[in-house]
Amino acid sequence: MPDFETLRRLMVEHQLERRGIADPLVLEAMRKVPREAFVPPELAEEAYADGPLPIGEGQTISQPYIVALMTEALELRGGERVLEIGAGSGYAAAVLAEIAAELYTVERHARLAEEAAARLTRLGYDNVHVRVGDGSLGWPEHAPFDAIVVAAGAPEVPEALKEQLAVGGRLVIPVGQGRTLQDLLRLRRLSETEYQREELGGVRFVPLVGEEGWQW
């Protein structure tokens, strides 16, 4: 078997730090989470490759750099309540849970959600809460959130997610009129009615399917 600990360290050095990821909390979380536990067993040797990998149901585990970039963009300092849309295999949830106090994650594919929940529990992440549902509607019962991250591309920012963001909170989401190419946006809620919008670069994500996302 590969030396995953060494591969993880090299991934942080070469794929993250050299590309400008500098937040020490993000880098430490990426050093700790065993990415190989979140990919299909037959792909474990490719877990630290510089790209996404398939996890079933037409979904992917995001490239390590993208996970780090989006986590850094949330500006977490510890102690936050965070909402993630698109649990996938649970990898990004684990990274977020290393920093945040409570992590709530919504996944529309029941099999992926069940497997992610079991995997996260097995690895000791007792501050992660997983549910099956329409991610475009968020998880209003646990709002407001200090930060929200969306791991799927939306045609526009869902109003439900904007409403569930605490004042001062950050929402990071890929938005684009095509289903495969998006701009990564960060919305900062300034008041009950005002939001500041920043563009963070081009990305590729699977579509956010739901009531306030793409319709099949």
The set of catalytic residues is: 62
SS3 for 74?
Answer: coil
Which phi and psi (to 5°) does residue 180 adopt? -125, -20
Per the structure block, which two tokens stand in for 182? 């998006």
Asked if residue 184 lies in contact with residue 201, where contact means CB atoms within 8 angstroms, the answer is: yes
CA distance 187 to 74: 10
CA distance 203 to 175: 9
CA distance 134 to 149: 14
Long-range contacts of 26-32 (CB under 8 A, 24+ apart): 26/68, 26/71, 26/72, 26/76, 26/95, 26/99, 27/68, 28/98, 29/71, 29/95, 29/96, 29/98, 29/99, 30/64, 30/67, 30/68, 30/95, 32/98
